[in-house]
């Protein structure tokens, strides 16, 4: 008997053990007994009667994938190969096109393109629905399937068929895969205003933002703009670290609540770097998700910053990675994030204090202007307030003194 057969027998025995356990619990477990028995019956019928030979391992993996698909877009099952790929991706450097993806109504949806990557340069936008990858329909793909098909050898190409709201027909975009190196924090001054662009909450982001804030405040700027637009999030620990730079030590930053009402609270860990009398404006849009929403929500609840822009994405759930004994793993949503005042972020997003929309034409004009500047030889962080109404409004609020008044009166 090979190891796949042993795996199958072990799993069936495990399931039958559950059945016996459920049966011993009495009437309340009759449904569990019935459906577990159905599962083992179907497994046996397929093994004995399907037209082609099929391994027990493949059947079980398929069943586990189906289970997680029935939950939410962020829970998934990883085969050993997929799990290894997932672990490599979280290290912050990988070959791909530079998009953060979620699932919505069975289709992969762009949460945010990462600035400076092939996807960003090609004009892919938050909310774009990926219908096909290299001509293959995505409707039956899991999230990890989508990620693995988009990623590949640096220099090779992948074609995405995209549907965008307001489009009559889908469009095809060909992208060349590149080594994605994420420069998470960049900063500069816009005259008398400090500006920090945070692209993703990777490791040590809090340290980098602290360095930026100390440098900018030493220049006696009139206010700070923290740009979290198109920031898909990242590490919870770094979200707490960044929020701690603005909030009094010991203040609640965020908490999670799980299925049975259990909560876990995360507090500001240090004294703030930003003086109380220095106004802060946080920019968000529909590409701001996860850790970005945690920071924006905390600063908004404590009236420490004005949140400006458009409603955020609304992805604020906690996933645990549970390794399994054969090298596979389960990524399972176990809780939701709440702001300090108890606002649920997930599927709701953060609503700005000052709403300033940017339509598609304005976004395209801004990106084209930035591309032209780069062609002219300009490097580094390129900011064009005259083409960016959200940034322009933030600067106006700080320079006019309205930002300080609004924070005091929020």
* Contact status, residue 212 vs residue 267, Cβ threshold 8 Å: no
Name the nearest CA neighbour of 124 among 84, 86, 179, 161. 161
Set 184, 301, 312, 317: catalytic member: 301
- pLDDT computed for residue 138 by the predictor: 94
Active site residue 290: yes
pLDDT score, position 356: 97
Specify whether 315 is catalytic.
yes
User: DSSP letter at 154?
Assistant: T
Average pLDDT, the chain: 87
CATH number, span 92-181 = 2.30.42.10
Residue 410: predicted pLDDT: 52
Contact (Cβ atoms closer than 8 angstroms) between residue 340 and residue 301:
yes
Q: Which residue of the set 75, 184, 244, 290 is catalytic?
A: 290
Instruction: List, in sequence order, the alpha helices (H) in 219-268.
Output: 236-244
| pLDDT at 48 > cutoff 90 | yes
The residues, ordered by sequence, that sit 6+ positions from 105 with a Cβ below 8 Å of its Cβ are none
With beta carbons less than 8 A apart as the criterion, state whether 206 and 245 touch: yes
Work out the pLDDT band at 116, boundaries 50, 70, 90.
confident
Question: Is residue 301 among the annotated active site residues?
Answer: yes
251 pLDDT exceeds 60?
Answer: yes
- The answer to which of 26-30, 58-62, 163-167, 390-394 has the lowest mean pLDDT is 26-30
- Find the mean pLDDT for residues 347-362: 93
Euclidean distance between CA atoms 265 and 317, whole angstroms: 14
Q: What is the pLDDT of residue 6?
A: 36
Mark out the alpha helices in 245-387 (DSSP H runs). 291-301, 360-375
* Among 5, 10, 2, CA closest to 324: 10
Q: Superfamily for 185-409?
A: 2-enoyl-CoA Hydratase; Chain A, domain 1 (3.90.226.10)
CA distance 234 to 232: 7
Domain residue limits, the chain: 3-54, 92-181, 185-409
Question: What integer pLDDT is reported at residue 238 of this predicted model?
Answer: 95
Query: Cα separation of 340 and 294, whole Å?
Result: 9
Instruction: Determine the Cα–Cα distance for residues 181 and 25; give it in Å rounded to an integer.
Output: 54
pLDDT in tens, 318-332: 888 999 999 999 999
Helix, strand and coil content of the chain, in percent to the nearest 5, comes to: 35, 25, 35
* Spatial distance between the Cα atoms of 301 and 303, rounded to a whole number of angstroms: 5
Listing DSSP states for 14-34 in one string gives HHHHHHHHHHHT-GGGHHHHH
174-212, pLDDT tens digit by residue? 999 998 877 889 999 999 999 999 999 988 999 999 999
Catalytic residue (one of 121, 197, 315, 393):
315
Q: 256 near 318, Cβ under 8 Å?
A: yes
**How many other CB atoms are found less than 10 A from the CB of residue 141?**
19
Give the count of beta carbons closer than 10 Å to the beta carbon of residue 345: 24
Task: Report the distance separating Cα 50 and Cα 38, nearest Å.
Answer: 17
């Amino acid at each position: 008997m090979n190891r796949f057969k042993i795996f199958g027998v072990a799993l069936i025995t495990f399931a039958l053990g559950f059945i016996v356990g459920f049966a011993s619990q009495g009437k309340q477990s009759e449904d569990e007994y019935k459906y577990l028995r159905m599962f083992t019956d179907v497994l046996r019928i397929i093994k004995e009667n399907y037209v082609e030979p099929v391994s027990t391992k493949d059947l079980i993996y398929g069943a586990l994938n189906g289970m997680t698909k029935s939950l939410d877009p962020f829970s998934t099952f990883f085969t050993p190969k997929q799990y290894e790929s997932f672990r490599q991706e979280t290290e912050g450097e990988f070959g791909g096109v530079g998009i953060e993806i979620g699932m919505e109504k069975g289709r992969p949806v762009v949460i945010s393109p990462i600035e400076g990557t092939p996807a960003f340069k090609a004009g892919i936008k938050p909310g774009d629905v990926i219908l096909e990858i290299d001509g293959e329909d995505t409707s039956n793909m899991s999230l990890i399937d989508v990620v693995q098909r988009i990623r590949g050898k640096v220099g090779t190409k992948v074609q995405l068929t995209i549907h965008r709201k307001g489009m009559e027909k889908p469009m095809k975009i060909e992208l060349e895969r590149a080594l994605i190196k994420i420069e998470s924090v960049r900063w500069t001054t816009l005259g008398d205003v400090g500006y920090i662009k945070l692209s993703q909450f990777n490791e040590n982001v809090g340290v980098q933002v602290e360095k930026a804030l100390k440098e900018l405040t030493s220049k006696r700027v009139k206010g700070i703009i923290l740009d979290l637009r198109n920031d898909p999030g990242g590490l919870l620990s770094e979200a707490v670290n960044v929020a701690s730079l603005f909030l009094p030590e010991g203040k609640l930053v965020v908490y999670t609540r799980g299925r049975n009402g259990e909560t876990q609270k995360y507090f500001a860990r240090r004294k703030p770097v930003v003086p109380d009398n220095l106004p802060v404006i946080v920019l968000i849009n529909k590409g701001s998700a996860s850790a970005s929403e945690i920071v924006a929500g905390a600063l908004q609840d404590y009236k420490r910053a004005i949140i400006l822009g458009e409603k955020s994405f609304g992805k604020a759930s906690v996933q645990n990675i549970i390794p399994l004994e054969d090298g596979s793993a389960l990524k399972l949503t176990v809780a939701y994030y709440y702001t300090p005042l108890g606002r649920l972020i997930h599927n709701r997003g953060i609503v700005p204090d000052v709403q300033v929309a940017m339509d598609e034409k304005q976004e395209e004009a801004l990106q084209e202007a930035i591309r032209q500047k780069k062609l002219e030889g300009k490097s580094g962080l390129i900011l064009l307030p005259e083409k960016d109404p959200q940034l322009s409004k933030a600067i106006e609020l700080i320079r006019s003194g309205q930002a300080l008044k609004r924070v005091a009166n929020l």
